[in-house]
Structure 1
Amino acid sequence: MLYKKLTSLPEISKAQLSKILNHYAGSKDLVLEPMLIKPLERICGVRWLKANNVEKIFKLEEMIPKSDNTLFYMIYTDFGTFKQVLNQIRSKLDPENLPKDKYHIIVIPKLLYVFEDTLEELGLSGNVIKLYSFQWQPVHLDMGIISLEIPRMYKTLYVDHDLSLLPVFAKSLWHLSFITGKPKLYIALGQHSNAVLKHLDILYENLADTDKLDSDFGAVILMDRNLDYPSALLTPTTYAALLNEVYGVVCGMCEYKSTEGVDHDNKFNPVIKKEPVQFILDSTRDSVYRDIKNRYFTEVTMVLNTLTKSLRSEGESSKEMALDEIKKYVATQLQATTSKKKFIANHLAAAQTIVNTLGHRFEDQQQTEQFLMQNKNKSGNYTYLEEVLVTENDRILTLRLMCLMAVTQKLSDSEMRSFWNKFYNEFGYSAGFVHNNLCKAGFLTEGSPSTTNLPNLPNIVSKLPKLLTNDFYINANKLKQIPNDPSKINLKAPTCCSYVFGGNYIPLISQIASMLLSNTPISDIKIKLEALGPLTIKNERGYPLQSRTLLLYVIGGLTYAEIAACNLLETLTGGRIVICSDKIISGNDIVNAVIDTS
């Protein structure tokens, strides 16, 4: 019943969007920021837009599209994009004869005051350009997975320290309560999570409250992304997580078209080509994906080979069928078999690309990460970091490993100085700003040679999460996140959530959920979590849980490895878990946010 409610969320979003589009009843054209295309496909689709009098759909480009219809722009909350749209519109305006109801801008998820103020200053507010704020309901990506699909949220919150979009999380929870009811227990861990919970209380006090007496969720757990960086930075070992690492999954869609690219990079290293693929990471649509999404990767290729053999034998047996049997086969099974062939072909191509991309360094990377989690072989780990720096020619990969080391074993002043000198020699001094961003995001702390000359350093350091100023291993061992002997973890038939990282580490969000589902005393939960950052437990009378269904909400991005760990936890405990975030990310997204100059 709960999953049916979650799959109905797009219907609410469509009703909201229809109301905005029908502010102008006539024919209209839609101009979309490119990043909006995939989420909009999952929410409404082209056919629905056509039914709402949208004639043509354009991508937002440098020039305004040629159209005689009223234009509706849809953009994310980004002032740079907003200025681009304004410049396009102004280039077509006649100051002596300003049009009415010609231009509309829909801002997702939230309209900022600066947008309205800019229109006022230009004299374009009111009937010339109309602004709308549209926060769609979380997009249902897969069984138990919903996402706000807001890009750049990690960078906005943790690198830029811009909190203007933080109320969006509270509003999404408030909206959700009208569908699933209001949970009795809330746990907020981290600075941003606590702010969201306070804002949610204000919404409940000042706006309409749900009339549902019971909630589908026994508890909501809110957690800041920066309290568990290892779950994003470690190399995952499950299929869906590796897909996101290699291809980059957007709104639950894995799509890559073959391109004519170079065979070697600027240092003559071979460039590994990706196989073209196109499929949706949705268990209800793709039975093959449902079977392999959370498997340890070496098992995936075996499953795909078995499925290929079964299809081949099925094809051979169909040759021996009588006419009546062939008719029945075509009517009942052929379409399903054809779809399955397509699914298998896509997943085989994706699996081959994963092997080609990661295979040459996967074992060394796993071993180094195991040493990092076990706090062993520090000098050898640093040697491997330097080796990756000079051989891979990949600044994302290099910075990702350095960040993982900075969070766990720490790097000495001499090691940091040596690393940055070599990093600049490899990739140029134009990346000098990365120092400051790493400090603001919580990877570097006071005393690092890369931060000692930064202005206002005390203010920056004061914002770092406690996890990074305390000993990582003390906190992780208290929460039993690091298995004593990873070699004893069964990766093929797992009974420990650490299998998602090859037995090296259990994600924090799944460990918190495990404590709730196993009825760990609330006092013990407090003691274990308070060391990580600001903690609020609201309505303790709702514990132990009356409903063994949890909503886990990670602010700043969630990984497929964490999702797989929570899926296993469901199987082990008999509970149910729904996972939500602003976006499904990988460690590469974290590092990209740090080096992004936009």
Structure 2
Amino acid sequence: DVTCDEWSFYLLPLDEDIISMELPEFFRDYFLEGDHRWINSIARALQLLNSLYGPFGKAYGIGRCAKMSYELWRDLEEESEGDSQGRKPEIGNIFLMDRDTDYVTALCSQMVYEGLVDDTFRIKCGSVDFGPDVTSSDKSIKVLLNAQDKVFSQIRNEHFSSVFGFLSQKSRNLQAQYDRRRGMDIKQMKNFVSQELKGLKQEHRLLSLHIGACESIMKKKTKQDFQEMIKAEHCECCHPSQTSLPHPLL
């Protein structure tokens, strides 16, 4: 016999400070088709966060979806009799914002390295598949993009124009560390191999992948149409517009 059970999976930790529900279909379902089925998942994710790190000090929100999610979450909290009550809160405030309050930010072209990697290769669940054009082989490699990647963590939020310079300097520094082997005695070489060599090889592998990714991005993003798009977006975003501020829900 086969027994099936439900796994209540609401939040996926992507990095040390990033937690995501990984629901790419949510926008289409809710904002285009009017399907409210994900409201319950959002409310339960809030309940999970609140039970682990709450209670939250205040909740702020913009939009109808934010309001419905908040109200359902409060109902769930009342039913569970507030498991987080009496604990010292680790999260001060929580902000809920509907995507339709700011389409521009999501639709503008990315200019930092992580954003361009997502535009070009698509980051899914915190990882990316680099194809043969990046790996310089006939194989594709799945790479986890988070703070454990020492190269990525230093360039993820950098403007793309400065990334190549950083990677070039990083390559020279790495080579200098390899060159330290020259002139070592047997004991020093043993310590180098046991303590440093593995880390250097891993960093060298990641450095090669990110250089390859940059080259692939450059081929696709230096075309004339991309430059024209950036100019158009810049002109559009420079016009002043009214913005809504989040208001307290709690």
TM-score by structure 1 length?
A: 0.39
Whether the 8 Å contact between 2:130 and 2:213 is mirrored in structure 1 is: no
Q: Following the alignment from structure 2 to structure 1, what is the Cα–Cα distance between the partners of residues 178 and 53? A: 46
User: Residue 474 of structure 1: CA displacement?
Assistant: 2.8
User: Residue 274 of structure 1: CA displacement?
Assistant: 5.9
Structure 1 residue aligned with 2:93: 219
Structure 1 residue aligned with 2:130: 256
- The change in CA–CA distance for 1:181 and 1:309 in structure 2 (over 3 A counts) is same
Structure 2 residue aligned with 1:144: 17
Whether the 8 Å contact between 1:181 and 1:212 is mirrored in structure 2 is: no
User: Residue 232 of structure 1: CA displacement?
Assistant: 0.9
Per-residue displacement from partner, 1:338-385 (whole Å, max 9, x unpaired)?
Answer: 11001101111111111111111343222111111124xxxxxxxxxx
Q: Following the alignment from structure 1 to structure 2, what is the Cα–Cα distance between the partners of residues 274 and 143? A: 26
The answer to whether residue 2 in structure 2 is matched with residue 102 in structure 1 is yes
Q: How does 1:47-62 map to 2 (within 5 A)?
A: none
One of 306, 316, 325 as aligned partner of 2:179: 316
Per-residue displacement from partner, 1:509-528 (whole Å, max 9, x unpaired)?
Answer: xxxxxxxxxxxxxxxxxxx5
Structure 2 residue aligned with 1:373: 237
Structure 2 residue aligned with 1:229: 103
Q: Following the alignment from structure 2 to structure 1, what is the Cα–Cα distance between the partners of residues 67 and 247? A: 7
Structure 2 residue aligned with 1:475: 242
Q: Following the alignment from structure 1 to structure 2, what is the Cα–Cα distance between the partners of residues 216 and 366? A: 40
Structure 2 residue aligned with 1:156: 29
State the one-letter code of the partner of 1:220. I
Q: How does 1:437-586 map to 2 (within 5 A)?
A: 473-476=240-243, 528-529=244-245, 536-539=247-250
The size of the alignment, in residue pairs, is 244
- The change in CA–CA distance for 1:179 and 1:347 in structure 2 (over 3 A counts) is same
What stretches of structure 2 of length at least 5 have no aligned partner? none
The answer to whether residue 198 in structure 2 is matched with residue 198 in structure 1 is no
Q: Following the alignment from structure 2 to structure 1, what is the Cα–Cα distance between the partners of residues 62 and 247? A: 7
1:345 aligned counterpart, secondary structure: helix
User: Residue 317 of structure 1: CA displacement?
Assistant: 3.0
Structure 2 residue aligned with 1:462: none
Per-residue displacement from partner, 1:56-86 (whole Å, max 9, x unpaired)?
Answer: xxxxxxxxxxxxxxxxxxxxxxxxxxxxxxx
What stretches of structure 1 of length at least 5 have no aligned partner? 1-100, 105-131, 259-272, 376-472, 477-527, 530-534, 540-598
- The change in CA–CA distance for 1:236 and 1:257 in structure 2 (over 3 A counts) is closer
1:474 aligned counterpart, secondary structure: coil
State the one-letter code of the partner of 1:474. S
State the one-letter code of the partner of 1:202. D
State the one-letter code of the partner of 2:59. Y
TM-score by structure 2 length?
A: 0.90
Whether the 8 Å contact between 2:60 and 2:95 is mirrored in structure 1 is: yes
The answer to whether residue 223 in structure 2 is matched with residue 349 in structure 1 is no
Greater RCO structure (CA 8 Å; 6+ sep):
2
Q: Following the alignment from structure 2 to structure 1, what is the Cα–Cα distance between the partners of residues 49 and 64? A: 22
User: Residue 166 of structure 1: CA displacement?
Assistant: 1.0
The answer to whether residue 145 in structure 2 is matched with residue 281 in structure 1 is yes
Q: Following the alignment from structure 1 to structure 2, what is the Cα–Cα distance between the partners of residues 224 and 372? A: 22
Whether the 8 Å contact between 1:279 and 1:346 is mirrored in structure 2 is: no
2:59 aligned counterpart, secondary structure: strand
Question: CA RMSD of the aligned region, Å?
Answer: 1.9
Q: Following the alignment from structure 1 to structure 2, what is the Cα–Cα distance between the partners of residues 171 and 474? A: 35
1:140 aligned counterpart, secondary structure: strand
Per-residue displacement from partner, 1:482-515 (whole Å, max 9, x unpaired)?
Answer: xxxxxxxxxxxxxxxxxxxxxxxxxxxxxxxxxx
Per-residue displacement from partner, 1:274-330 (whole Å, max 9, x unpaired)?
Answer: 6555321110x2111111111111111111111111122222331332222211111
Q: Following the alignment from structure 1 to structure 2, what is the Cα–Cα distance between the partners of residues 538 and 247? A: 38
Per-residue displacement from partner, 1:20-68 (whole Å, max 9, x unpaired)?
Answer: xxxxxxxxxxxxxxxxxxxxxxxxxxxxxxxxxxxxxxxxxxxxxxxxx
- The change in CA–CA distance for 1:138 and 1:251 in structure 2 (over 3 A counts) is same
- Identical positions, percent: 20
The answer to whether residue 115 in structure 2 is matched with residue 241 in structure 1 is yes
